[in-house]
Structures are given as C-alpha cells and as structure tokens.
Structure 1
Amino acid sequence: MVPSALLLGGLRAAMAPSALRFQRALRRPEAAQQECLARVLRAVAGSQQAARIPGFERIVRAREFQEAVPVSTPDSVVADVERIAVGEPRVLTGAPVVRFEPSGGSSGASKKVPVTRELLGEFHQALAPMLFEMLSRRPAVRAGPSYWSISPMGRKQGRTPGGIPVGSVEDSAYFPRFLQPLLARVFAVPGAVAQLPDVESCRYVTLWFLVACEDLAFISVWNPSFLTLLMDALEVHGERLVEDLERGTCRPPGRELDEEVRAVLSRLRFSPQPERARMLRQSLKEGLSGLALWPRLALLSMWTDAQAAHAVGPARRRFEGVEIQGKGLLATEGVVTLPMFDAPAPVLAVRSHFFEFVDPERPEAFPRLAHELERGREYVVLLSTSGGLLRYRLGDLVRVEGFVGATPCLRFMGRADAVSDLVGEKLAATRVTAVLDAALPEAFGGTRPRFAMLAPEWEAPPAYRLFLETDAPDDRLTEAADAIDRALREGFHYRYARELGQLGPVRAVRVREGARSYEARCIALGQRAGDIKPTDLHRQPGWTAHFTSGDTP
C-alpha cells in the first residue's frame, strides 16, 4: 500500500497552483470578484432565468448586476428548482444540473440546491487552497489517514422525477474529479459506509474503521457535537467493538440480520485487529481519550463560531492536547469563507463566487462589495454562483475581524433571519408557525392554547420546549409535543439532527399567565414593552427556567 504521507504529498503538490492563485487574489479582491461575476453571468446566459432579466446580455459590472437582478431567497427559487427536478432544461443555467443537495428553506420542509459542474468548480477554488495550507502548515496531518465527515451519515440517496440524483455519495464529491481516487485512498473510513440505511449502524461501522486506524492524523466534522456523540457511542458499544476487532467481524447493534445493512457490509473488508482491540479495551478501562487511541492525531476541524461554540468544550475534553481549527462558513449553496491559520478569522473565498454584503443598519442601500467592507461591521451575505443562484440571501450574519491582503476575514455570527440553529437544524419561525397552526387545534379541541411558543434549551442534548398555557391534562400536552416533533422532522436538517442524536425531542412545559410572563422576560432582555411582539419561535434559550421559577407574574 502506498503510504498516506506520499499520497498526501502528491495531493499538496496538485493543490499548489490553485493556492498560489488564491494568494494573489487576496491582494486584489475587486479584480477577483469581477472575474467571479463574469463567470456567473456566462453560466446563466441562455437560460430561462436570463430571459426574465431585462438587459441581461448588457450586464458587465457589479452595479449593473445589482440594479437589474432582484435579491432571491430559498423560497423564491422553488418553482424554478421544481422545473429542473422534473427534467426541464436550461432553467437557471445553460449547463445541466448533475445532482441536487438537500438544504433547509426559510418556510418549508426541505429544499433542493441544484449542483452543476461549474458550481463544483467554484467549490474547488476554495477547497484547494484550504487543503494546501493545512497540509503545508501542519505537516503532521500528512503522516496518516484522515476522517472527513462530509456526506451526512444515514442519508439515503434518491432521484427526482426527472432522474437527477439527490445527494452526494462519496465524501470526496466536492473535490476535483481527478483527485477523488487519491482522496479515497487516504480516508480512514470508506465512502460506502455512508450508504448504510440508519444513523446508528453507520456510526458503529465508522467507529470500527476509526479504531482500526492506529495512525489516524486528522478528523474533520461539522458540528462539534457530532464528534462528541461519536465518542459517546464508542463508550456504549466499546466491548462489542473489541470483540469485532479481535475477530475481524462487524456487527452493528440490532441490525446484524438487516438485509440492507448486510449488503453494505459485504462490500467492506473487516480483518482481525487484535492489537487495536487490546488498545481499545485498555482505553475503555482508563477512560476514553482521543490521543490514547490515536497518538498521531494532529488536528481537529470543526465549527467553533456562533451556536456551535457551545459544543466545542465537550469535544475538546475528549481530545485533550489536539489542536482545533475552526471551519469557515460553507453552505450547501456555496463557500463563503475558508480557514487560514494566521488569519484573524476565516477569509472570504474571493475566487469562488460573487459576493455582496447587506448592511443590517441600512438594508435599503446597495449591498457592499468585498473590497468595500469595514473592520468591526456586521453584514448579511448575498451569494451569486455558477449553479444559477443569483443574489441569493443565505441568511448568514458575518462580522469583519480584519484582512489578509485586502480581502476581508469574516467571523460567522449566526443566522440573520428568524431561524433557530442549535446544531444545524435551521428551524425557521415561518415553519414553526405553520406547524403550530396545524397541530395545536387538532390536539386541543379545535383551538390553540392561550399561549404557545417553541424555544430552544441548551441541555444534553439540546432540544426545543413547547410552552403552553392550557387547562388540558398532561397527556394532552405530551401528545401535542410529539405531534409537533413529528411535523418538524419533515424538514431535512431537523430530522437529520434528531436522527444523529444531536437534538432531543420536543417536550411540553405548562405555563401560567404566559403572555405576561413572556413580556416580563422580553423586557429583562432589553426590549421596550411597546416593541414586544408575540412569537411562535423564540431563539433565546432559558425560557424553561423563567416560566418555572415561580417568580413570574
């Protein structure tokens, strides 16, 4: 077998030209962004979308683009996406859509983001310099295999009525095609593991390969709680894994006889690993430690900003002594920032897409461009890509922490729109309202309770609480919470977070004088009484303690 160090050295060399172009672009972001805009316009030319934009063929400069093209949202592109899904060509772009990726929308359940080869090329413009810098600045990462959690665990693949695939199959799918075979050879966990039909079996098989990999050097996950839950599962199933490693078998708990699970396992190789079994048994006795199991582990990559910061501590405790690098802001729709070790915050992916930045204090003004941002100010991101999304409002709020060259470094501050996002569930207020309006009257005899509100709580795991003011018996409240949880699980991101165990179920909490108590806390949080509006979804945690403290009016 070719050593990982040799393969990763070759990968680093392959990334070098793109990394050099990125470094040059950091000094001239205005020129780099003009090139991105020209590429986006070429991708959209000849499409139905272009035909709807007056004077599209005459657009060249950013201001012309802003004047001619309206801001779009996940909901505003639904009709076009559905036409693509049934097989209609040249809707948003001239090029065909090669697959859809599921993503959360602001009001419905799941949305589908169209992916073209041109859009994948824009992802490469960011991922290549990011990977090059990591391999160059942290050479220990080149010493062994890596675990990349890119494809969601337990997610089944599908196709639209027009035959377009939904979801990527391999973790390397966002990298250039010529590099994918090389990447597959340095992944500690085979990509086929993602084809397992449920989260628990996928997690167990993932752990088998990770524990078997003595020289694991790098772990990349998204939310830190994903990694914590993985280690929790290792603790729960540790003895079973010891036996499987000794024998060269793999028996996901409760799924040994499942035909779909067995079909995936039959395509994987499990050979006896007695030394690693001994190491795991010893580690279980002494308390699981990441460095004890993987002494060459050099770097963890995960979200560290906004809501994800709450989950960094537990992950850090599992991997004491291992460096953590925060991820940039990467959405299903595109790459906004990428991490750099010496930068004050992740740097704008200035060669990937065309970006605009809305000033929340002046939303009516023309959005600013990348070279016009000011240090210390916050902005909402608009994204235009070669996948056909034009002036697309991501809903992400970023703050300018500094610059590399002349390009801004942006820290993710959270969602700018009315979305609660503890662990990636992206729960929108409009979605919550629709669910409560449908479920509560059915549960409570045709009417909604006097007070009803959903809000998050940072528990173990984080979860949402349904606060209700009603005289109905307790079992009715429980039934209502269960119904709402089921309805919310129709959304891709909420369901995924629940299946992974990153998010607990909705639980009902009975409240007294809900409206007055709600007002009292809103005032305590700094709102003026005249500005307080009732809400079905409040994104601030801590409501359980407030409503049950006994000190409320």
Structure 2
Amino acid sequence: MRRELLSKFQDKDAKMLQFGHHLFMDGKRIEYKGEEALKEIERMIIMPNEIQKDTLGKILSKNGETEYLKKYMGGSRDISDFKRHVPVATYKDFRPYIQRIMNGEDSSLLTGDPITEMLSSSGTSGGEPKLVPSIAEDLDRRTFFYNLILPIMNRYFPGLDDGKVMCLYFVKAERSAPCSLPIRSVLTSYYKSRHFKCRVRIPFHDDTSPDPVILCNDSNQSMYCQLLAGLVHRHQVCRLGAIFASAFLRGVSFLEQKWVNFCDDIRTGRLDQSITDPESRSSMMAILSFPNPTLAKEIEEICSQTSWKGILWRLWPRAKYIEAVLTGSMAQYIPALEFYTEGKIPLISTMYASSECYFGLNLKPFCAPEDVAYTLVPKMGFFEFIPLGENGTLAMDMDEDEEVPKRKLVDLVKVKVGCYYELVVTNFSGLYRYRMGDVLQVTGFHNRAPQFRFICRRNVVLSIDSDKTSEEDLHKSVTVAKKLLEPYDALLAEYTGYADTSSLPGHYVLFWEIVYHNLVTQLDATILQECCIAVEEKLDYVYRRCRTYDKTVGPLEIRVVTPGTFLALMDLFISQGGSINQYKTPRCITSASALELLNANVEASFFSPRYPTWINAVQF
C-alpha cells in the first residue's frame, strides 16, 4: 500500500509544479494552496523514509558525475555506496571546491546543474561567513517551502487572506565573484527573484510595502518606508513579522525614534526628505496620496503615551500574530516582544531554514515559543543525524575535531524521542553529508515524521579551561539571573559574552544592555553582583568545578553597556557584510572590532561576589 502511495506521489510530482517551477516560469496559478498544501504536507509525513530515499536518489542522479562524488563513489548512483563511502564533511572540506568555482572552474566540481549564485551566510552564528553554492532549482524549492507555511497558519488563524501583511524584509547589496557569479544572502536572492515578485498572485501575500521599498539597499530608508506603509494601512494589517525576532525589535526601536516623522508624513501627505532613493520615494508617494490628519492623530495619541507596553496591538489592532524565528538564540527576545504586545498578539515561529537548505515547518503554531518543534520536510534535502550525548554534547567516544565515523549517522526516521543530534544535510546544490553544527532534540513524531526542537549552534561556546559552555547553557543561566531585575522594573534587553584570557585566571565576561521602565536610572551594585553569581550557579558542573576547586576560571563579570549599544553592534556587523535579515546577536564575541565597540560603551562593571556551589562527587 505504501509503495502504491509513493508511486502515485512521484507521478504527481513529475506532472505538477516541480517545486513551483511551472507557476513562475509559465505564469500558471499556484497548485499547492489552501487545503491542497495541507494535504501535500500530510502526504510527505506519512512516508518520510520513502521520500528521503527518493530525494537522495534524485540528488545522486543529478550530481553523480561531479568531481566531489566521483572521488568517493567512482560514478556510482547507488544509495548504499553513498552511505558507505562519502564522508561526513565540514565547510573546510568544500571550501577548496567553492574557491575553484569562484575562480572560474566549472560547476561540475560539485553539481550537475550550473551554479547560478553563491549565498553568503551571516557569519554571526558560528564564525566567518560562508559561501554556499546555489542552483536555479533552489529558488523553486524555497518557494514550494514558503507556500506550505501560510495554509498551516490560516488553519489556526482564519481570514489571513482578508487583510494585509506588514513583514519587515530587507536586501543586502551584492557583489560578484571573479567568475562573475553574484554573491548575496539567501533572502536577497529570494526577494530579487521572480518567485517573490509573483507572490501577489498567491493568497495571503498582500504586503503593505511596495517591492521597490523592500529592494532598497539602504536598510534605514527601507525600514522607514516599510514602517510608514504599515502605519498607513494599520487597520488592514492582519499579521506582523520579520525573519528574525531581532530584526522585528529593531523595527520597534526605529518606530520609537521616528514616530513623530511618520505622523508628519501622514498628516501632510508628503514623504520625509531623508528618503532619497528614487524608486522608494516614487512608490511611497503613491501610498501617501493625500493628507490624512485623522490617521496621524490616532497614531500620535498611541505613540505619545508614557509607556510603550502593548504598543503593537494598539497600533495594529487586527494583527492575529507576529511571525519571526524565536528559537535558539532568538529566545532572548521573547520577553521584550511580550512587553510590546502585552501578551495580546501570539508570537509564532513558523520555520527552520538556513542558506544551505530549508528544513522544517512548525505544524503546531499555537504552542509556546519555548516548545516550538519543527517537522523536517523530506523533499528539501537528505537528512542524517550524528547522535550526541545527553545534554547535546558529542558522545564520549567521539572528539569534536575527529572525523565522524559514517556508521554513526542515523537516518531521519530512525532518530529516538528525547535524544540529541547534530544535523547533517545533503542538498541538491553541492553539499554532501555537510555538518550544519545545529543541535536538535527529538520531541516526538507527527505520523511517521520526527519533530525536532532547535537547541543551539554546537560550535558557539565560552571556554577558559576544561569548561565548555554552550549557547543553550548560557541562555538558561542568563534567563535565571535576569529575573532578579524584574522587581526593579528593569529588563535585560540584550546580551553577549566572551572568554577574557588577558589575565590569569581567565573569566567569562557578559555585556548586558538593561532597559528601565520607570525613573530608575541604575541598579544597586549588589543586585548586579547577585546576577553574576546567579549565572554561575546555573552553569554546569565542569564550570563550577573550575571556578571553585581547580581555580582555573576567575569570577564572572557583567559589564553594563549604554542603551543602543547592541543596535550599534548590529550596524557594525551589517557594515562588514552581514544582512539585516539574517543577523543574530552572537552569544560569543570573537571579533576584535565588535569587542572594542562593546567595551567603549561600558557604563559599569560587576563581578561575582563568591564561588558558586560545587559538590565534589564522581560524575558518571
């Protein structure tokens, strides 16, 4: 029966859109929409193992003659040969091939199809930006993925096609490789494609912002125009969002600075002179087609209130939810978003994706942000998993720098509930058994498809001696410590850290940006000292042993920085080639210029006043 279903599924796949290809190449109306999209999802998760085999078979069929695969498989297209012979790899293994292609050699080094662009990762999650090859079909695949999301959301929030969308989208100026291939972020690639421009034909995609505004390379002018357009249409907006929570909160901060200008523009029907991009200016003047003093007064009355608690639902009263990535390091922003929504607009993480591949969907969007789990879409790539230890660390018999034995890899359907894994992906555009560095935990199954909670990036850690603090451990510790600020109407708005080894013993340094909701301008030193020890008490056994018994780690330090420091940090990374869409505050600072910026804005410094508790016991 399952074999018959798979055969029927493959036949349909061949005849229909092929990931949306016919829709955008031939102008045909989208096939997967509404209930059809939901049925498509169910088809995929009923038989993920069969679809995974089919996906890997297609990848090998397309790319079997590439130099990389022939090196290990000798031209074979057999799946068992792939699993036996192709090694688990990291970016450094693919970098020489990518560099050769950048210098003008043929795409066949890695792919059977021509490489059409290089996608630049943000570089803020785990180190330096990477260049990821991409083929034309990848845009079809991403479009297919996006077109599955909103039908899921419309099931839980009916009527999404009856209003407008105010999502903050941004592009980044691109550059060219020596071979003339464009180098750009994955989102810039999508926003500049005909797939994005044709979205107006699809339900749920009535954006408040005109395309020229979204495609403006000046992020400040783009932000200004997008927020202004959202305010003009405030009574029609039914959903809000951005790719990452950090970008959305940057929008809120921008709104707080510029709302008087926005009201002036709406009141007079004239656009602020700071908007100099010709196409943005022209498209916005069509929106500001007449003076609207009534709307300007509404917005002014809301924004001029002393507290901005609940500002988002007051400005956009019809908004059904805010969509943004809120998992992993983005979980830090949940309290701030809850403050601005007053808990009246749900916060939704819809998808798990990267430059290398789009992975999974959140099929239960009503869950709490901390409980979000993603179901991997088995057609997007071939997924394998490295089993990790109980807390998401590498298994005891496997060193982090050692080559991962191929026999250790686990297929998608063979993962176990409660266990931790590192994701390994084989995509259509030249990455084979590529270690993503993402730690996932299996939370359950939907039909036969496993669901995963994103834990952290495994290679983002603080370390002085034998201690190794993961991003998740740091987040948990800071989450406990920041609760000590709440009785004083203070909120931890943002944080990052680094391992200071300039003196002995080295110690952890955390930079905190604190927001006050009343007239308090600073906290008593003892409160911040208690925050220091609260972080240390929550860190793991090894850290506390190093602090208390081995004395190889010094007292943790919190450096409080001036308001706006983390916006300046974001600007710094963007100025160095990052993308506003993809930016995530790094939880471990490695950049000298970023560290210099943070230290230049320190208002006060506090150290842990005592050793954390440590029990001298054998740990198994």
Normalised TM-score (structure 2): 0.65
Write the mapping of 1:97-496 to structure 2, written as runs, cut at 5 A: 97-104=115-122, 109-152=128-171, 155-167=172-184, 168-169=187-188, 172=191, 176=195, 179-182=198-201, 186-214=206-234, 215-251=236-272, 255=274, 261-262=277-278, 264-266=280-282, 268=284, 269-271=286-288, 272=290, 274=292, 275-286=294-305, 288=308, 289-320=311-342, 321-341=344-364, 345-361=373-389, 362=395, 363=398, 364=405, 365-418=407-460, 455-460=509-514, 490=576, 492=578
Higher mean C-alpha displacement, 46-55 vs 354-363: 46-55
The 1:493–1:195 alpha-carbon spacing in structure 2 relative to 1, beyond 3 Å, is closer
1:68 shift after superposition: 1.4
Q: Per-residue CA shift, 1:168-202, capped at 9, x if unaligned?
A: 54765689579434369612112322443443332
The 1:50–1:370 alpha-carbon spacing in structure 2 relative to 1, beyond 3 Å, is same
- Structure 1: distance between partners of 2:388 and 2:471: 22
Higher mean C-alpha displacement, 379-388 vs 305-314: 305-314
1:375 shift after superposition: 0.8
Q: 8 Å contact 1:211–1:293 — kept in the other structure? A: yes
The DSSP-based 3-state class of the residue aligned with 1:507 is helix
Q: Report the equivalent of 1:477.
A: none
Higher mean C-alpha displacement, 29-38 vs 100-109: 100-109
- Structure 1: distance between partners of 2:237 and 2:291: 15
The DSSP-based 3-state class of the residue aligned with 1:71 is coil
Q: Report the equivalent of 2:599.
A: 507
1:161 shift after superposition: 2.1
Q: 8 Å contact 1:44–1:92 — kept in the other structure? A: yes
- Structure 2: distance between partners of 1:70 and 1:232: 46
Q: 8 Å contact 1:56–1:68 — kept in the other structure? A: no
The 1:98–1:17 alpha-carbon spacing in structure 2 relative to 1, beyond 3 Å, is farther
Identity %: 18
The 1:422–1:370 alpha-carbon spacing in structure 2 relative to 1, beyond 3 Å, is closer
Q: 8 Å contact 1:125–1:352 — kept in the other structure? A: no
- Structure 2: distance between partners of 1:211 and 1:278: 12
- Structure 1: distance between partners of 2:280 and 2:384: 44
Q: 8 Å contact 1:101–1:332 — kept in the other structure? A: yes
Q: 8 Å contact 1:113–1:333 — kept in the other structure? A: yes
Q: 8 Å contact 1:224–1:308 — kept in the other structure? A: yes
The DSSP-based 3-state class of the residue aligned with 1:39 is helix
Q: 8 Å contact 1:146–1:186 — kept in the other structure? A: yes
- Structure 2: distance between partners of 1:528 and 1:78: 45
- Structure 1: distance between partners of 2:92 and 2:98: 10
Q: 8 Å contact 2:90–2:435 — kept in the other structure? A: yes
Q: 8 Å contact 2:244–2:324 — kept in the other structure? A: yes
Q: Per-residue CA shift, 1:266-298, capped at 9, x if unaligned?
A: 454342351432221121134552222222211
Q: Per-residue CA shift, 1:450-480, capped at 9, x if unaligned?
A: 666775434349xxxxxx99xxxxxxxxxxx
The 1:198–1:451 alpha-carbon spacing in structure 2 relative to 1, beyond 3 Å, is farther
- Structure 2: distance between partners of 1:188 and 1:527: 60
Q: 8 Å contact 1:212–1:273 — kept in the other structure? A: no
- Structure 2: distance between partners of 1:510 and 1:146: 40
1:403 shift after superposition: 0.9
The DSSP-based 3-state class of the residue aligned with 1:232 is helix
Q: Report the equivalent of 1:429.
A: none
Q: Report the equivalent of 2:487.
A: none
Q: 8 Å contact 1:219–1:301 — kept in the other structure? A: yes
- Structure 2: distance between partners of 1:307 and 1:145: 29
Q: 8 Å contact 2:259–2:303 — kept in the other structure? A: yes
Q: 8 Å contact 1:228–1:318 — kept in the other structure? A: no
- Structure 1: distance between partners of 2:96 and 2:583: 27
The 1:190–1:494 alpha-carbon spacing in structure 2 relative to 1, beyond 3 Å, is closer
1:383 shift after superposition: 0.7
The 1:422–1:35 alpha-carbon spacing in structure 2 relative to 1, beyond 3 Å, is same
1:377 shift after superposition: 0.8
Write the mapping of 1:48-59 to structure 2, written as runs, cut at 5 A: 48-59=67-78
The DSSP-based 3-state class of the residue aligned with 1:389 is coil
The 1:75–1:453 alpha-carbon spacing in structure 2 relative to 1, beyond 3 Å, is farther
1:372 shift after superposition: 0.4
Higher mean C-alpha displacement, 321-330 vs 179-188: 179-188
Unaligned stretches of 5+ residues in structure 1:
1-9, 424-435, 441-446, 462-467, 470-481, 531-553
Q: Per-residue CA shift, 1:4-45, capped at 9, x if unaligned?
A: xxxxxx869646545423211212211111111112212323
The DSSP-based 3-state class of the residue aligned with 1:65 is helix
- Structure 2: distance between partners of 1:487 and 1:14: 38
Higher relative contact order (CA 8 A, sep 6+): 1
Q: 8 Å contact 1:338–1:347 — kept in the other structure? A: yes
- Structure 1: distance between partners of 2:182 and 2:504: 45
The DSSP-based 3-state class of the residue aligned with 1:57 is coil
- Structure 2: distance between partners of 1:13 and 1:125: 8
Q: Report the equivalent of 1:86.
A: 103
Q: Per-residue CA shift, 1:145-171, capped at 9, x if unaligned?
A: 11334545xx21222222222225476
- Structure 2: distance between partners of 1:387 and 1:147: 32
The 1:171–1:54 alpha-carbon spacing in structure 2 relative to 1, beyond 3 Å, is closer
1:391 shift after superposition: 0.8
Q: Per-residue CA shift, 1:119-168, capped at 9, x if unaligned?
A: 2333344333222212333223222111334545xx21222222222225
1:88 shift after superposition: 2.4
- Structure 2: distance between partners of 1:285 and 1:278: 10
Q: Per-residue CA shift, 1:205-247, capped at 9, x if unaligned?
A: 2211111112111123233232222122212211111111122
The DSSP-based 3-state class of the residue aligned with 1:53 is helix
The 1:100–1:487 alpha-carbon spacing in structure 2 relative to 1, beyond 3 Å, is closer
Q: Per-residue CA shift, 1:375-394, capped at 9, x if unaligned?
A: 11111100111011111111
The 1:151–1:527 alpha-carbon spacing in structure 2 relative to 1, beyond 3 Å, is farther
The 1:384–1:31 alpha-carbon spacing in structure 2 relative to 1, beyond 3 Å, is same
1:307 shift after superposition: 2.1
1:60 shift after superposition: 2.2
1:303 shift after superposition: 2.1
- Structure 2: distance between partners of 1:132 and 1:492: 31
- Structure 2: distance between partners of 1:511 and 1:293: 36
1:312 shift after superposition: 1.0
Unaligned stretches of 5+ residues in structure 2:
1-28, 390-394, 399-404, 463-469, 473-497, 516-552, 555-567, 587-593
Normalised TM-score (structure 1): 0.73
Equivalent AA in structure 1 for residue 325 of structure 2:
W
Higher mean C-alpha displacement, 390-399 vs 301-310: 301-310
